[in-house]
Structures are given as structure tokens and as C-alpha cells.
Amino acid sequence: MYDKAQIQALQQTTKQFLASPLSIELNALKKVLQFHEYQYYVVNEPLISDYEYDQLYQALLKIEAADPACITPDSPSQRVGNSLNSNFETVPHLVPMLSLENSYNAADLNDFDRKARESAGLETITYCVEPKFDGASISLIYENDLLVRACTRGDGVAGEDITKNIKQIRSIPLSIPLAENGIQQIEIRGEVIMSKKAFNDFNEKLKAKQQATLANPRNAASGSLRMKDPKEVAERNLDAFIYHISYLLPIPGKTVNPLLKTHSGSLELLWNMGFRSPEKEKHLVHTIQEVIDYCSIAESGRDQLPYEIDGLVVKVNDLALQEKLGMTSHHPRWAIAYKFKARQATTILENVEFQVGRTGAVTPVAKLKPVAIGGVTVSSISIHNEEYIVEKDLLLGDTVIIERAGDVIPQIVHSIPSLRTGNEKKIQFPTHCPVCNTSLVKESTEAVWRCTNINCSAQIVERIAHFVSKDAMDIKNLGEANIKKFFELGLLKDIPGIYTLDFERISTLEGFGKKSVDNLTTAIEASKQQPLHRLIYALGIRFVGETTAKTIASRINHLLDLTRITEEQLLEFEDIGIKVANSIVHFFHDPMQLNMIESLIQLGLNVEQTSQQQTDGSLTGLNFLFTGTLTQLKRADAEEMVEARGGHILSGVSSKLNYLVVGEDAGSKLEKAKKIASIKIISEAEFIELVKI
């Protein structure tokens, strides 16, 4: 998209604008911002910090506010949804959006190839194989370089106009260089997706707000497209892959870019025009056997991708040949989808148990007839709350569809009412705590029922389990089963009690040999040195997740600073709203919590912020990527170490990568990196050495 000289010039202008805002010129500023959006959202290699981008963006808003007449539709400011979508108008596609025929095995693919070769009268056909993105399909129309319309697939003939929402997706450019490629109007197709990370982050936010989580990234993406408020769409961090040109109107008398002779060429052109096309992911092959071989390689690598794919799409590469093969009324004859093994399965909802969490929230957990999906046996799934049970129409004894998407926790997709026998029973929500029998309450603003007895044994055990959990104080060997055992034996009553455990007694218990007691003592002792943000998260303050805990820790020097902090001060912190601020202040004024904190300080836990001192610039300008399983560090911590030293984490192997850190069982990334001489391939131990300096 941008060549070396253009990148240098744009970087030069960026520096100049940042250094002397008075020199900013509107058109150049828009180009600079468009360039940085592309670097950030399409190629995933930002060249300026978020802060610098924001400074330039604010400058743009200022100029435009002073003279609204100068606002163009492709200005980066026009991504911000200022008005709600009243309703979505139905609009016809320029070319019907057909679906694809599916294939599931080598025989299906051989069949497809044989038919295509027979119709074409050819011995062999070159195919372009690319991911089948698991999201929501969209079509976009650009005219005279500008994005003029975006719509959903709808019934394939007409879809809904969702232009305002699509403009929130930063990897979709608002303008593209059509004219210079000889094109006046173009209609293109693609898939809006939510990366696994964006999905998990978004669900974390929902959980913190006590809202029901979304089932999978595909539902999250498709649900986003028709949202009323474009600002909410922006919050979901969606992405889009563009993979097909369905219609093209040339500029009379001008030559259309010759890349448009093949499908792979069109992906290259789309990429060059600024789209995230599967240009880097595509795979060209010359026989159907190569397609078949590639399908099994890609299927085994699907979990390594940062987004969900449900198969591959095999396309005849020559566009003239595509034209010749044509289409049926349902699908093109020049393409076929190869579907990976399903990660959905049906099973029976046998029972529902009610678990009490650390905040007293009572969560129904569906007990299922065990079923294998994608290599994992699932027998138990959280079903969140009463509303969720109604929404999914669940009855005891129902046949339900469950789904497991990548790293995502399995979910019930829906029940199948048509299979009911009449013996199914309504799920009865308890009126009293199943553990301590206190009557449950539900606040009007919440979806969950709660046990209000702070001394409920289930809550105490869960608070301790949260404190020691992997993302909190990370005390391995003290799992939930042991906590329960120690609690029942009266050996552990509260969080500070972890640090005064009677190991002599413990070593007399069955299953606690010298080695396991030693490991437990070491892990407990080591946890005292965990960074402050982990301790803040571990305390289990309502609405304070890992991210909020990091924000708080970065703004204070000592845990006890929080006993003096006001809501107003907290509201100035990034991403902290009134509900969170109120909860924090409440927590640090509660005598019971203050007592606990005092005990933890006495016991020698680290309560000071030290990570800022670690921050240095020793890795500034260097790009890192981790692959395989790290054995000594958590990947998130290793990435944090890089960022704290000024380095960047890339999402894939490219010539921009400086270091590939290789853990156990590294796969395709390592192979790819070996082919690029400039990349230094180092072990986890070498990485630790590197960050020590």
C-alpha cells in the first residue's frame, strides 16, 4: 500500500506536525492519520504511540470544528458515530451475494475439481486457498475513491444499509485509490470478525458489568453490525477481511489494473489499496491433491490463529476461467468451502446446580451428558442467570446444541424444542442460598441473585480461590479442592490465613508428602513478591478486573494510598467509571477489608508499586513475537516485559520482526521466521537474559 519513500515522507510529516502543531496542514494531516490507521489496524505495525496519534487526531477535530465546511466524508473524524441508526434501510446488492457449496473430505474436493476441469476442458487448474473467516459477511461499495455504502448479506439479493456501523471498523478504509487503478465504482465482499482477544476482552468487560457474555466471536461480530449506536460498535474492536470483488465499473478510456486477471492478483490489489485482504494468508496450489494436503495442515493450525476460521475456501484462480464456469442459482461453480470438523454438538441438559461465587452471586451451572467437541469432553457449562435461561429457552431434559470456539469457554447455543418429549421440567431458581440458606436478593439493576451473608462459607472459599488464582497471586498447588479441604478442617479461615498455614498439620494429611508441602510453602512465600496490580486484582474488589487493577497500580505508590483516594480522583483514571470508583472507595473504607489488608502488610506482602522503576527503553524500536509454550514465564508477563522496555509485540512473522522467542512445541511461525535472515530466533532463557540487562 505505502512504499518506502511514502512511509519515510509520512513519518517525516508526522514528526514535524507533532513537534510544531502550528505547521499542520489539513489535507496532509488527514493523509498522515489515514496512514497511521492503516499501520495500526491493517498491517498491525504501529509507527507512533497511541498518545501521539491522539494528539494529531485532536488537532484534526480542532481544525474541523473551526471550519465544518472542510469536513470530507473520508476524514478520520467521520468514523465517530455521532448519530444513532434509526432503522436500517433495505438496499439491493449490485450482484447477488451467493453462498458457497460445502465440502468435508478429500472425495468432495476431488469431485469439485473433476467437474471444474471437465467444464473447462483443462488437465489441471490453479487454485487459491484462503481462510474461511467465521464472522458476518458484508458488501461495500466505493465510488470515485470513497466508501459510499456498506450492507449486510440479508437474503443475498438485498441487505441492510449499515454504513455508519461499518465506518467504526478501522481496518476498512474510508477512501481507496480507485481512479489510479482505472476503476470508477467497485462492489467488494468480506467478513467482519472479532479476534479471539477482542472477544475475550469484551466478554471480560461484560462480566465485570454483571452482564451475560456473548457465545462466540461470530455472534459477537454479527450482532455488532446491526447495533443502534455506532459508538457501541467502536467499543467492540471489530476487524474485517475483504476477499472478493463482485462488481467493477472501469473508468471509460482507462486501463484497469492488470492484477485483476487472477483471484490472487485481486487480493494483492485489495491489499495495495489498503484493505486487510487475505493476501498474506492465501496459498496458491496447482493440483487438488495439494489443496487436500493443505486443508489438513490448516485444520491442525487453526487454534494458533488470532481469529476464528471454520474452514478454507478453495477458489479457481484464473478470473476468466471463473467467468466460464459460472454459477448455479445458489453458489459459484468456481469455488467451494472446505469445512473443518464441527465444534458444535448436541447433548442432554441433565441437571442444573447452583454455585455461590465470591461476591455471593448465585450462578446456575448446566450439568450435561458428557460430550466430545473438537477433542475436549464437556460436561458442565455456566448458564449465567435467569434471563439467560429464558433467552436460550432451556428446560431440564432438553436436547441442547453446545459449541466450543477455539480458546473460548464452551457455551450453550440454544435448545431444540422440537425434540421435547413432554417430560422436560422448568429450571427452578432457589430462593435461599444453597450453601448457608440465607434468602437471596436481586437488585433491580442486576440480573443475578445474591447471597448477602458475607460469612457464607462458599463465598469465603471462593474469595480465597480467587486470591490464589493464576492471574492474581498465582499460588500454584493451592487449588480449589485443597482450599475447601483446609477450610473444612479449620486450617484456613480467610485470605491472610494462607500465609500462616500450619504445615506440620498439613503434612500429616493424606496426599501431602514432603515434596508437595515444600512446593506449597515455596509458592506461598514467592507470592509475597507479586507486583501490586496482582494484589489489587486478588483482593476481589467488585468490578475491578485485571486491566482496572493495572490502571490503579500504575497511578499509586502504595496500596494504602487507596484508603485515602476519593471517587473524583479515581474518575480521572483511564476507563474507571462511577460504578467502579464507588466500589473501590467502599472497599477501602470497609473495616473488615482494612483489617485484612493490615494483616497482609504485617505478613510481608509487597504493597508498593515497583514496576515503573523497571520501565526503561532498552528494547525501544524492537519488535518481538512469542511462539510455542513458555515454561518459565507466562506469555502475558513476557509480553508486558517487552512493552515495559519500549518494545512492541507483533501478531505475525514478517520482515519487521526482530526477535522470535521460541518456547516448546513451536510450529509454523518458527519455520516462517527461519526463512527471514534478519530475524533473531532466541530461546526463552535467552529472552530472560536479554531483559535482565
Q: State the minimum distance, in angstroms, from the CB of residue 319 to ligand IVH.
A: 12
Q: Check binding of 332 to ligand IVH (CB under 6 A).
A: yes
Query: How many of the other CB atoms lie within 10 Å of CB of 514?
Result: 8
Query: Could you say whether residue 333 binds ligand IVH (CB under 6 A)?
Result: no
Per DSSP, the residues of 133-178 read E-SEEEEEEEETTEEEEEEE-TTSSEEEB-HHHHTT-TTS-SB---
**Which CB, 189 or 196, lies closer to ligand IVH?**
189
Report if residue 174 touches ligand IVH, rule: CB under 6 A. Answer: no
Q: Is 191 in the site for ligand IVH (CB under 6 A)?
A: yes
Catalytic residue among 15, 62, 132, 675: 132
The distance of closest approach from Cβ of residue 117 to ligand IVH in the complex, given in angstroms and rounded to an integer, is 20
CB of 130 to ligand IVH, least distance (A): 5
Q: Which is nearer to ligand IVH, 21 or 154 (CB)?
A: 154
| Closer residue to ligand IVH in complex, CB, 136/495 | 136
| Rg of the chain taking only CA atoms, in angstroms | 28
- Cβ closer to ligand IVH: 76 or 135? 135
Give the footprint of ligand IVH on residues 239-268 (CB under 6 A): 243-244
| φ/ψ (deg, to 5) at 293 | -60, -45
Length of the chain: 693
SS3 content of the chain, % helix, strand, coil (to 5): 40, 20, 40
For ligand IVH, give the closer residue by CB, 199 or 486: 199
The whole-angstrom separation of Cα 586 and Cα 562 is: 10
Among 337, 365, 409, 670, binds ligand IVH (CB under 6 A): 337
Q: Please, are residues 463 and 228 in contact by the beta-carbon 8 Å criterion? A: no
* 650 touches ligand IVH by CB under 6 A: no
For the chain, what is the total number of helices (H) and then of strands (E)? 25, 22
C-alpha cell at position 29: 494531516
Is residue 132 part of the annotated active site? The answer reads yes
* Residue count, binding to ligand IVH (CB under 6 A): 15
CB of 278 to ligand IVH, least distance (A): 6
Give, as one character, the DSSP assignment of residue 349.
E
Report H helices in 476-565. 480-488, 503-506, 514-527, 532-538, 546-555
Grid cell, residue 164, equals 455508519
β-pair type (440-441, 450-451)? antiparallel
| Subset of 100-159 contacting ligand IVH (CB under 6 A) | 100, 130, 132-133, 137
Q: Which secondary-structure segment (H or E) carries 364?
A: strand 362-373
Judged by CB under 6 A, does residue 308 bind ligand IVH?
A: no
Shortest Cβ contact with ligand IVH: which residue? 137
Phi, psi values for residue 399, rounded to 5°: -85, 130
**Which are the contacts of 494, defined by CB distance < 8 A and separation ≥ 6?**
460, 464, 596
Element (H, E) at 377: strand 376-382
Select from 10-18, 95-103, 139-147, 528-536 the region that touches ligand IVH (CB under 6 A).
95-103
99 sits near ligand IVH (criterion: CB under 6 A):
yes
Single out the segment in contact with ligand IVH by CB under 6 A; choices: 93-101, 107-115, 173-181, 350-358: 93-101
Short-list 153, 114, 110, 341, CA closest to 244:
153
Q: Which is nearer to ligand IVH, 212 or 337 (CB)?
A: 337
Q: What is the dihedral of CA 560, 564, 567, 569, to 10 degrees?
A: -90
**Which range of residues in 68-76, 98-106, 396-404, 627-635 is near ligand IVH by CB under 6 A?**
98-106
313 is an interface residue for ligand IVH by CB under 6 A: yes
Give the per-residue contact string, 43-82, with ligand IVH (x = CB under 6 A; - = no): ----------------------------------------
Contact in structure between 578 and 571 (CB atoms under 8 Å): yes
Nearer to ligand IVH, 119 or 355 (CB): 119
Exposed/middle/buried for 532, CB within 10 Å: 0-12, 13-18, 19+?
buried
Q: Which is nearer to ligand IVH, 141 or 661 (CB)?
A: 141
Rule CB under 6 A: say whether 217 interacts with ligand IVH.
Answer: no
Residues 524, 526, 529: CA angle, nearest 5 degrees: 120
Q: Please tell me the distance from the alpha carbon of residue 449 to that of residue 571, in angstroms, as a whole number.
A: 28
Give the one residue of 26, 28, 94, 98 binding ligand IVH; rule: CB under 6 A: 98
Query: Nearer Cβ to ligand IVH, position 35 or 133?
Result: 133
Considering only residues 585 through 604, tell me which ones interact with ligand IVH, judged by CB under 6 A: none
Candidate list 93, 170, 189, 534; residue touching ligand IVH; CB under 6 A: 189
Catalytic site positions: 132
Footprint of ligand IVH (CB under 6 A): 98-100, 130, 132-133, 137, 189, 191, 243-244, 313, 332, 335, 337
